[in-house]
Structure 1
C-alpha cells in the first residue's frame, strides 16, 4: 500500500494476475465438468450398445436351411437364454427363402420354465408355418431341459455317441446343521410364515417340508413326461426306464423312440430339406455381457447355488 492507502502498481499487478488465474482455473474446471459429463453419457451409450444383443439378420435371398444353435445351460443370461433362442427361431421363420430349420442342441438342461418357453414357441411357429419343417439335431448332449426343447421338433437326429434323455427333475442342496454344531455356530432364522424357511440348508429338515418338495418334483416331472409323450407320440417304446432320469447314447435313443435317426446339421440340410446351404440365425449375447460372465459371474453364481437348494430338469 502507498501512503494514501491504495495498492501500489506492483500489488495491483499481483491481484490482477491472481484474479486472472482464478478465472482461468474456473473455466478449466467448468470445461472439465462438461467433458466428464459428456464422457459419462458416451460411456453409458456405449455400454447400452454392448449390452444389446447382436440382432443382425442374415439377408439371404436364395433357398437355404436355417440353423439355430442352443448351446449350454438353458437359463437367463446364458447363450441358451430362452429370449435369445426364441428371437433366433423367429428370425429364421421370417425369411421366406428358408426351406427348413435345424435346431442344433448341445445342452445338459437347465430351467424348466425357460425350456418350456422354447418348446411352446417352437410349437407355435410350426403351426404358423406348416410348410417349413423344424428338426432338432443333437451334438454331444441333449439331456433334461435340452430334450424338453427337442421333443417340440418334427424329428430328432443324433450322432450314435450323443447322450440323450435324463427325463426327470431334481432339487439339490447341502445340509450344514452338524457342521454348525461342531463349530459352535448358532443359526438364527426369523420367518413370517411357518414354512418360509423351507429346506433351509442351515436348519434341520422337517418331514412335512420334504413331503411337499417331493410332491413338487412329482408334479413337474409329470409335466415333463406329458410333453415328451405329446412330442414323440407312438414313437416312444414301452420301457419303464424312459422317464427314470437315465441317459442313453444316440443309437440307443433310436431303439427307445427318443431319437428318429442318425444325422447332423449338414446331412439334414442336404438330404432331408434338399437345401445344403446352411445359414446361422443364432442371436448372440452382447459382448459386454459375455465379458462380465467370464470375469467371475459364473463362479459367483455357482457358489450361490452350491449353498442353496436348486430346482432343475434332470
Structure 2
C-alpha cells in the first residue's frame, strides 16, 4: 500500500497528445476523421490521469464541415468540463476543416512551412451527359418533387441548381467564419479579407492572426509545463472488424479522394 501511494505521489504531470490526421468525413473508414470515430480517443485524452494540457497534432486537408464542427465542439466541451487548456500544433497542413479543428484549441502553433487557412467551402464533381448521349445511353430518373434530383451528374446542369448550391455553400461558409471569429477574436488581422479560401504558409498565417507563432509540440509544451513533463499519445483506433476484414474497393476509392484533397495544397 505504501509503495502504491509513493508511486502515485511521484507520478509526473503529463500532456495528452491527440493525433488528428487525415480527411474529415462521416464514413469513419481507415485514415478518416469522424466525430464518432474520434470521440473515444478525445474522451480518454481529457479524462485519463488528469492531464495538465491536451496537445492536438493536426495534419488534415479538411473535408466535411459538419464533422469538423462536431469534432471541434466536442473538444471545446471537454476542455471546459475538465478545465484543461488545449494547444494545436499543425504539421504539413490544417486547412479548411483541418483549420476548423485547430481553431478549437486555445492557441495554434505551426512549422515555418505549414499550410493553414482555406477558410471557404468547395463542392466538386463531374458531368457525363454528352458521354451518355454519344453511346446512346438514356438516363431514366423519376421523382416526386422537381428538385429531388438536383445536380444529377448525368444530366446538363440547371442554373437554378447551381444557385441553390451556392446558397447552401454561403450558409456553411458563414458558420465557418463565425467559428473562426469566435475562437480567434481580436487576434485576426483587420487589414485584409481572411475568408476568401486563401491558404497561408508559416509566418504568413502568424501575421494574419490565424495562428499564434512558429513552434513545435515538444519544445512548446516543455516551455509551458516544464522539462519533466511526460507526453502520453492517443490515436484513433478502427473497429476490430475493419482491421480484420478491410474493404479493398472502399479503401481504393477513399485513397483517390484523399490524394485529390492533399494535392490541392501541393502535398
TM-score (norm 2): 0.85
What is residue 42 of structure 2 aligned with on the other side?
A: 89
More helix by percentage: 1
1:24-73 Cα shifts (integer Å, max 9, x gaps)? xxxxxxxxxxxxxxxxxxxxxxxxxxxxxxxxxxx995311110000001
Greater mean deviation of Cα atoms: 255-264 or 237-246: 237-246
| From 167, 184, 190, the counterpart of 1:232 | 184
- Name the structure 2 match of 1:77: 28
SS in 2 for 1:200: coil
Q: Please provide the CA RMSD for this pair.
A: 2.4
Q: 1:125 to 1:148 in 2, by over 3 A?
A: same
* TM-score scaled by length of structure 1: 0.73
Which residue does the alignment assign to 1:223?
A: 175
1:216: Cα distance to partner?
0.4
1:265-280 correspondence to structure 2 within 5 Å: 265-274=217-226, 276-280=229-233
Q: Which residue of 2 aligns with 1:255?
A: 207
The residue aligned with 1:167 is: 119
* Per-residue deviation, 1:276: 3.2
Matched, 1:66 2:16: yes
CA distance in 1, matches of 2:74, 2:188: 23
Matched, 1:127 2:77: no
1:197-225 deviations in Å (ceiling 9; x for gaps): 10000112121111111100000010011
The 3-state SS of whatever aligns with 1:210 is helix
1:238 Cα deviation after fit = 1.7
Q: Counterparts of 1:202-217 in structure 2 under 5 Å?
A: 202-217=154-169
Structure 2: runs of 5 or more not aligned: 1-7, 258-264
Aligned pairs, number: 247
2:34–2:71 contact (8 Å) kept in structure 1: no
Q: 1:107 aligns with which of 35, 60, 65?
A: 60
Corresponding residue number in structure 1 for 2:262: none
Which whole-Å CA distance do the structure 2 matches of 1:196 and 1:240 have between them? 40
Tell me what 2:101 maps to: 149
Other-structure match for 2:3: none
CA distance in 1, matches of 2:75, 2:23: 18
Deviation readout 1:85-117 (Å, 9 max, x if unpaired): 232221122134411110110000011111111
Secondary structure at 1:98 match in 2: coil
How far apart in 2 are the matches of 1:221 and 1:99? 34
User: Any idea what SS the aligned residue of 1:271 has?
Assistant: helix
* Cα pair distance change 1:105/1:128, threshold 3 Å: same
Kindly state the Cα deviation for residue 129 of structure 1 after the two structures are TM-superposed: 2.3
**Residues in 1 aligned to 2:57 and 2:191: alpha-carbon distance in whole angstroms:** 27
